[in-house]
Structure formats: C-alpha cells, structure tokens
C-alpha cells in the first residue's frame, strides 16, 4: 500500500486527500487532516472518488474518426489542421475551449499556445459558466481578480450571508466549516436564495429573494445601513438610492430581520456562488455585495469580506494563468505595456492584440463558420452550455473538432474528428488553486493507462509541430517554474498575484510542496478598492412562458456525470433528474408527483420526473444540470436556458429563464436491471443510474414493451398479474446468477428497486423472491437512501426520531447516519424538523414589496 497526498477532483473547496493506493486501480480515500482547506473532512463525492477510478469507458489511445491512431499521426493531423486553418482563414478561425478540470500547468501551456503563438485570444473555459461574473466584479472593485478573504474568515465571522449558494450540497465541506463556526461562536447564517434549499432550511433566516432580485436587495441593505449609521453616509456616490424602496421581492418583515442581523454583526462574510453569478446581471450582483462590504468597512480584517466560491477544482488556477478569453496570463490585461511584457517573456512572435471570444460567442462563431477549428479539453459543452441544442448544431458544422478527454464516448466526443486520450484525476501531476487562493498539489496515484498523456504535454507537442519555440518542458514542474517566474510581470504591474518565490523550485521541493496561499490572508489591505454603483436589471416577462426556470446541482453528482455517474453509492441520493414544482403550479398544469412532465422554453424542451414540493416558490421551477444523452433520454436541464449573457462578464444567465410545463402521458412505466449499459433510444423515456455490477433503468413509454430487445439471452422466468397490469421478468445465467430483470406496470405501482438491484450478479435468491423483488423474509424497508456512506434510508432515521433522537448527532448515535462524510446531515436535520413540526400550523405568507 502506498499513501499519496493529493487534492479532490471536484469542487472549488479544494479538499486535501490522503489516498491509500491498494492496487493497480484501487484506492482508499481519506481526508487529509493537515490540509488547511478541509482538515480531514470530505463530502460524499470526495469520499467515493475511489469508485470512479476504474478504466470503464476510458479513452486509452488516439482516435481519428472511429479508427485507432498512433500519437504521431494524431498530433501531426491536429497541428496540420490548426496551421492550415490559420494560414487560410487567420488566427481567429481557431479556438480552444478548456476547463476548470485542467491543472494550472495544462491551462498555462494552452493559453501560451493560443495567445502567444497562434495570435488569437480565442481560448475560453467552462469556468465562464461558473464564476466569470465574480471575476468581473473583482476586477471592477479591486482592479484585479482577487478574492479578499480565506476560509479562516468563515471560522471567525459572526454573520455569514450565503447568496445564491446551496452550500450544503455544492460546497459541503465549507458548509461543515460554517456549521462548526455556528457551534463554536454562535455565528448566524442567512441564506438569500429563491429556493428553500437544504442550506436554507438550516439557516437562521431564509430570504426568498426574487430571481435576479439580489442587486435591489443589496442596494436596499446598503441604504438601510447608511440610515442606521452602520455604513458611511458619504460612502461613494449612491445613484441607486431612488431604487432602494424595492427590495428584490423580499417582504418587509424578512427585510427588517435581515437588516437587523447585518447591522448587529460587523464580522460578516458574504459567500456568493452560481446562484448570483449565473445571471444576466451577475457582475452587478457581485459588485452590489462588495459595495455593502466596502461601505460598512467589512473587509480586510478577520471574519469579514465578500467571498466568491468557485464551482470547479481549478477555476482559480485557470484565472491565474489567463484561461479566460478576456485576460492575459498572470492577471494581466491587454494594454500596450502589459502585452509588450508578455510578448517579451514568452518571446512570442504573434501575441494576440485583444480579448477573444467568450464561451457563448465562441460557439456562435463556430455555428456561423467564423471558427473552423475547435479543440475542446476536459469538458462536455454539448451538455453543459446553455441552449445546448444550438451548441450541438455548431459542433456538427465545424470543419475540425478535436476533443481531449478521458472518456471515450461523451455527448461532445460524438462530434469529434480527432479524440486524444488525456490523463484522469488519479493519474495527473501538477497544481490546482482553490476558492481561497490556496495552491495545492495534485499527485498521480496510478501510472498512465493505455496511451493517455498529460494535457500540457499534448498541447506542447502540437505547438512544437507547428514550429513554435518555448514548449520544451520535460515535466510539469518545468511548466510551473515558468508560470511562477512570469508572475514577476503581475508584480511589475501592481497586482497581488506573486509566485516569484517559487520560480526556482527544485523538482524535489515541487514534489513535496505543501499547500500555500498566494496574496496572504487579506490581500486587498492597503490597496485601492472601488465602489461600483449598480442598478437592478432582470429579464422581461413573457406571457407564453409564465414560469421561471432555475437550474442547479445535486448533492452527490458532478457536472455531466461522466465520473460521478459511475458510482453506485452516489447514485442512491437522486436516481433520476427531477422537475421540482410548487403544488399550485403543478395543479394548474395538471401534473402530479411521480409522473412525467415536459419543461418548455423558447430554446428547447426536455422531460423530467415530477417532484411536487413547497420548497419551490410559486411561479418558479427547478431542474438539475447534470444529465446527458449518455444517462437519459430526457432530463436535459441545459437544453432549456437561452443564450443571454451578462453584458460585462459574458457569463450565461442559466437562472431565471421563462418557461412553461405540461404533462407527459405514457401507457406504461418500468424498471430494468442490466449488467450491461444499453441505450434504449426506441423507448419513450429512460434514465439510468449505476448499481453494483450494472445499471438500473427507469423507463416509460407507449404501446408494447419489447422484452426481447431489452433483455439478454439466458434462462428467463416470468410472472404476469393481469389485474394489476404488471409483468415481471428475470433472467438467470447458467450458474444461477441474476443477469437482468424487467418489471413493467400499466396501471399499478412498481416495487422498490433496492433489494433486487442488490441481487444483480448474485446467486442464491429463490425465483419467487426475484419475481416479488423482495426476500421471502423481508428486511425492514429502509426507504429512500439519505446517508449514502452507510446506506441508511428515511425509515431508519424516522425510527430514531420516534425513539427520542432530538438532534443529528442523536440520529448518528442511534443508526450511524451522517457519521462519515456528513453530507447528509442537512437532510437529517430537515427530517427531524419536519417530524417535529407535523402539528405546527403554517405561517401566513408575507406580502412582498
């Protein structure tokens, strides 16, 4: 067994991991108790990383079309196509679309190639979809993309405002840190979010702001703080005062409660995330938040400051080295002096003259033929971009699409002319920077499988084939040294970013590098900061689409599920993409809980399973963003938003799109257990999730169900219950193990899936048991799984509550739920609260101003 210290693959918290490598492709994952981001904690996604490191579905050698190719042939082809395109159509006819999954070293080399040598800034990143508005807000307020706080400030705050952040699901270890602060020092927590998320349910105050109401709300708070003498009366000009009567749809009672908390606690951190950024007014939201901190002096001291939480593991590292189309490397812009310095440092013959195309504009340019060569790395824009149907059209039209990825068949890879096998998380070597500016090492756990290579090395090889000098590194540390030396330019231009003390780092010291912060704890102290007046702005109403659509993440899934979708453990939390809708909106649309419904916008439509819940505000619906064509025929959240972007940051407005919903009828509903992944495109609707040894499909459709197509060969047993419209089939191999099962109903209910899913590949269950989908001596029904680490469902938790468990800790002692990674603790708290509140009358809703 080998122990390797590395960093989690997923979110911007950047948790340290101690990985115990136990075999060729097996690893036991533990949190690193010495890593300052997480001090040993991990959420469910990080904890179960070990389930996603197998080679299933991996791209292991270069492919040209559907033909296996050697590296030389593939790289010659890519370099040749790129060179031809530049010669024939100019440098702006080529583009790179990269990812916050890349390491800083990968990002640095990609950016150097495009901006320095191709001569175009047409390199953008999927981080544009995640936090570009926060970057723009930082640049406007601080003159640089600097996060002015660290996680330590969360520990020392007395009030934490969470704006557009379902922290308990999306940044779970930060949520645990916030909870710890509440326990230690009584920190108050406010959630400002249109949805009553699990985070909001745990807050001291939930402020259900209207979609895009944040700017009005923070302007109103600022004026209120001036009125109360908490903010400076002569704080920079406040042209927003006339609009201050509007409070973003927040009722007077809730606004007063929020203002009281803000006025009373000077140690205040405002965390803002995708709910703020993914808006056509995302940059202004960031500045409205920063303005409040500037005017109240709540910045540059312990426990104070605005805090943008990034979504991806290395969004911040990409920002440092110029991964966004509108920046040069090292936080530099496009002034003559900055360009001249960059050109000299790189000895770059063709430094780009100005900003390139941001993500949405980039795919528009692909669509209309201005961009003819597109190289996509480590991301899946056919699923993740807004108006994803348009993006697919663009990819289908593009002359040359190159995809570097770890997965052989993603929705995007299907459009690729050339596929290049990259290293996956467990094989990469380099650095990442988390949300608080802390740089950590990511270290390889396994040898590179097949012919997979590091992204930076692939890009450098293409650059060399194009005849460019300056791409001769022999390892990742060589790239890192060059980047660190280049930050001398940011220092020269008055920026905070400074890694020059690492410019001469030895190979050994890089290998042993411990996590470090650039800029120190409060890097804006003593520097110029600007108040940027902002006005509320939102989308126009559309009578044809009377509801507002919100999209977001699930607790245990990541992005387009190419990795987390492989984990049977993580699949238990949400097996299907759900349309969450308020009961009155559901009734008005004649849709019911558990049925299917279609969400329709001006850009697209998709079908989801319905979950009716009063956690949704009337008039607003929510769908997840994770599901792809690989995982379902419907449930495609990103087909629905339009291409509107924030005019300053270019970040798409994923939230607050106009939509409508309608019922989808089907003749039958079924589930299928299968050892092999299939793509039942001929069925009306399907969605699959991982189970041990195979896949569980939820199916619905019209007409006949063709079991012969769905089920493999083997001994088949069957039961038909005409009265309940039920047909049940199980397929056994020669050894007596279950290899598939299909349960169909036309009028009734399907049985719970858990037990029979556990029989897949197993030998020993009696045939009647298989057809009943339960053992002859049934174990207690655990209910839907809440704690994925221990496989504990709702029923055991409610049993614990009935037996006297009064707190999440009590539940943990009684049944173990919530005692490992802790991601489910908010859900347990909600269950306890609901259990207790069963008899409590509902509060009258407030009238919003």
Residue 808 and residue 818 in contact, taking contact as beta carbons nearer than 8 Å: yes
Q: Nearer to ligand SF4 by C-beta: 14 or 119?
A: 14
Tokens of 722: 């005409």
CB nearer ligand SF4, residue 31 or residue 211 = 31
| Run of H or E residues at 151 | helix 151-155
d(CA 214, CA 542) in angstroms, rounded, equals: 21
> Smallest Cα–Cα separation from 255: which of 306, 292, 221?
221
229, two tokens: 């003498």
- Cβ atoms within 10 A of the Cβ of 123, count? 28
Report, in Å, the least distance between residue 204 CB and ligand SF4.
23
| Nearest CA-CA partner of 565 in 172, 48, 197, 26 | 48
Which residues of this protein are in contact with ligand SF4, per CB under 6 A? 8, 10-11, 13-15, 38, 42-43, 45-46, 171-173
Structural Rg of the chain based on CA atoms? 27
The residue among 42 and 86 lying less far from ligand SF4, judged by its C-beta, is 42
With beta carbons less than 8 A apart as the criterion, state whether 295 and 273 touch. Answer: no
Least gap, CB of 197 to ligand SF4 (angstroms): 16
Q: How far is the CB of 109 from ligand SF4 (least distance, A)?
A: 24
10: which 2 tokens?
């997923």
If the CB atoms of residues 14 and 812 are measured against ligand SF4, the closer one turns out to be: 14
Please state the closest distance from residue 181 (CB atom) to ligand SF4, in A: 16
Task: Give min distance, CB of 562 to ligand SF4, in A.
Answer: 15
Distance, CA of 298 to CA of 615 (rounded, Å): 32
Q: Nearer Cβ to ligand SF4, position 171 or 539?
A: 171
CB of 445 to ligand SF4, least distance (A): 15
CB 235 within 8 A of CB 531: yes
Cβ distance to ligand SF4 smaller for residue 171 or 417: 171
Nearest approach, Cβ of 7 to ligand SF4 (angstroms)?
8
Rounded to the nearest whole angstrom, what is the least distance from the CB of residue 313 to ligand SF4 in the complex? 7
What does the alpha-carbon distance between residue 282 and residue 278 come to, in Å, rounded to a whole number?
6
**Residue spans of alpha helices (H) in 321-402:** 336-346, 359-367, 381-384, 388-397
Q: Which is nearer to ligand SF4, 10 or 685 (CB)?
A: 10
Provide, rounded to whole angstroms, the least separation between the CB of residue 10 and ligand SF4.
3
- The pair of three-digit structure tokens given for residue 795, joined into one six-digit string: 């029923």
Closest to ligand SF4 by CB, 173 or 801: 173
Closest approach of ligand SF4 to the CB of residue 43, in Å: 3
Q: Which is nearer to ligand SF4, 45 or 609 (CB)?
A: 45
Q: Describe the strand order of the beta sheet including 715-721 as a list of residue ranges.
A: 685-691, 694-701, 668-674, 738-745, 726-732, 715-721
Q: Minimum distance from CB of 45 to ligand SF4 (Å)?
A: 4
Shortest distance in whole angstroms from residue 174 CB to ligand SF4: 7
For ligand SF4, the closer of residues 8 and 645 by Cβ is: 8
Name the strands in the sheet holding 205-207, side by side, starting at the edge strand that comes first in the sequence: 205-207, 188-192, 159-163, 268-272, 305-308
Q: Which is nearer to ligand SF4, 46 or 62 (CB)?
A: 46
Closer residue to ligand SF4 (CB): 684 or 818: 818
Going 365 to 366 to 372 to 373, the CA torsion angle's sign is: positive
| DSSP secondary structure letters along 772-825 | HTS-SSPPPP--SEEETTTTEEHHHHHHHHHTT--SHHHHHHHH-TTSSS-TTH
The residue with its CB nearest to ligand SF4 is 46
**One-character DSSP codes across 189-258:** EEEE-SS--HHHHHSSEEE-PPTT-HHHHHHHHHHHHHHTTSS-TTSS--TTGGGGG--TT--HHHHHHH
Distance CA 562, CA 410 (A): 8
- Please check whether residue 43 is in contact with residue 60, taking contact to mean a CB–CB distance below 8 angstroms: no
């Amino acid at each position: 067994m080998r122990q390797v210290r590395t960093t989690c693959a997923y979110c911007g918290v950047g948790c340290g991991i101690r990985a115990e490598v136990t075999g060729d492709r097996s690893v036991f994952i533990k949190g690193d108790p010495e890593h300052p981001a997480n001090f040993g904690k991990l959420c469910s996604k990080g904890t179960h990383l070990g389930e996603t490191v197998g080679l299933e579905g991996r791209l292991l050698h270069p492919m040209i079309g559907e033909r296996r190719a050697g590296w030389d042939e593939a790289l010659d082809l890519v370099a040749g196509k790129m060179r031809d395109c530049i010669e024939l159509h100019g440098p702006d006819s080529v583009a790179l679309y990269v990812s916050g999954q890349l390491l800083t070293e990968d990002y640095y080399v990609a950016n150097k190639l495009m901006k320095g040598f191709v001569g175009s800034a047409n390199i953008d990143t999927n981080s544009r979809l995640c936090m570009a508005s926060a970057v723009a807000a930082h640049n406007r307020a601080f003159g640089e993309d600097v996060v002015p706080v660290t996680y330590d400030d969360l520990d020392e705050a007395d009030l934490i405002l969470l704006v557009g952040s379902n922290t308990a699901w999306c940044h779970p270890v930060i949520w645990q840190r916030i909870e710890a602060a509440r326990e230690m020092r009584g920190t108050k927590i406010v959630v400002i979010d249109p949805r009553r998320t699990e985070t909001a349910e745990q807050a001291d105050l939930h402020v259900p702001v209207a979609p895009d109401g944040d700017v009005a709300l923070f302007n109103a708070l600022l004026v209120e703080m001036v009125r109360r003498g908490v903010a400076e009366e002569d704080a920079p000009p406040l042209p927003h005062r006339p609009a201050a009567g509007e409070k973003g749809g927040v009722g007077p009672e809730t606004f007063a409660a929020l203002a009281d908390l803000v006025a009373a606690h000077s140690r205040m951190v405002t965390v803002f995330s995708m709910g703020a950024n993914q808006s056509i007014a995302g940059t202004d939201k960031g500045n409205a938040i920063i303005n409040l901190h500037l005017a109240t002096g709540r910045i540059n001291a312990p426990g104070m400051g605005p805090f943008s939480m990034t979504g991806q593991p290395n969004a911040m590292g990409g920002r440092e080295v110029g991964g966004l189309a509108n920046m040069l490397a090292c936080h530099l812009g496009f002034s003559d002096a900055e360009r001249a310095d960059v050109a000299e440092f790189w000895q770059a013959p063709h430094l780009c003259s100005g900003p390139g195309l941001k993500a949405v504009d980039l795919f528009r340019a692909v669509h209309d033929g201005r961009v003819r060569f597109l190289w996509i790395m480590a991301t899946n824009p056919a699923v993740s971009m807004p108006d994803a149907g348009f993006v697919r059209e663009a990819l289908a039209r593009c002359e040359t699409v190159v995809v570097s990825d770890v997965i052989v068949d993603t929705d995007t890879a299907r459009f690729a002319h050339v596929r290049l096998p990259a290293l996956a998380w467990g094989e990469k070597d380099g650095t990442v920077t988390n949300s608080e500016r802390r740089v950590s090492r990511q270290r390889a756990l396994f040898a590179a499988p097949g012919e997979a290579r590091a992204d930076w090395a692939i890009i450098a090889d293409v650059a060399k084939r194009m005849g460019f000098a300056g791409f001769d590194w022999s390892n990742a540390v060589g790239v890192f040294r060059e980047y660190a030396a280049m930050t001398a330019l940011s220092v020269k231009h008055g920026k905070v970013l400074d890694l020059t003390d690492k410019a001469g780092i030895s190979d050994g010291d890089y290998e042993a590098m411990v996590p470090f912060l650039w800029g120190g704890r409060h890097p804006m102290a003593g520097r110029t900061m600007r108040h940027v007046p902002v006005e509320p702005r939102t989308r126009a109403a559309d009578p044809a689409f009377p509801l507002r659509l919100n999209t977001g993440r699930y607790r245990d899934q990541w992005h387009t599920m190419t990795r987390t979708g492989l984990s049977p453990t993580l699949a238990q939390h949400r097996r299907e993409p759900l349309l969450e809708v308020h009961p009155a909106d559901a009734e008005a649309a004649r849709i019911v809980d558990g049925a299917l419904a279609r969400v329709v916008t001006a850009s697209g439509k998709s079908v989801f399973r319905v979950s009716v819940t009063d956690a949704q505000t009337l008039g607003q619906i929510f769908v997840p963003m994770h599901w792809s064509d690989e995982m379902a025929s419907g449930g495609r959240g990103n087909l629905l938003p339009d291409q509107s972007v924030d005019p300053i940051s270019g970040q798409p407005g994923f939230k607050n799109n106009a939509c409508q919903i309608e019922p989808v009828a089907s003749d039958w509903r079924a589930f299928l257990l299968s050892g092999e992944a299939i793509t039942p495109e001929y069925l009306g609707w399907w969605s699959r999730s991982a189970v041990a040894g195979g896949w569980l499909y939820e199916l619905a459709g019209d007409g006949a169900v063709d079991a012969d197509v769905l089920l493999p060969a083997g001994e088949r047993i069957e039961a038909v219950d005409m009265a309940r419209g039920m047909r049940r089939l199980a397929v056994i191999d020669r050894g007596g193990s279950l290899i598939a099962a299909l349960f169909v109903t036309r009028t009734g209910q399907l049985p719970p899936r858990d037990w029979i899913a556990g029989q897949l590949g197993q030998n020993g269950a009696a045939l009647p048991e298989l057809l009943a989908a339960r053992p002859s001596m049934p174990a207690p029904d655990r209910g839907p799984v809440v704690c994925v680490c221990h496989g504990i469902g709702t029923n055991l938790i409610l049993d614990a509550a009935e037996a006297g468990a009064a707190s999440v800790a009590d539940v943990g002692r009684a049944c173990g739920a919530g005692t490992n990674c802790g991601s489910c603790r908010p859900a347990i708290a909600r269950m306890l609260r609901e259990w207790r509140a069963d008899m409590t009358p509902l509060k009258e809703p407030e009238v919003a101003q």
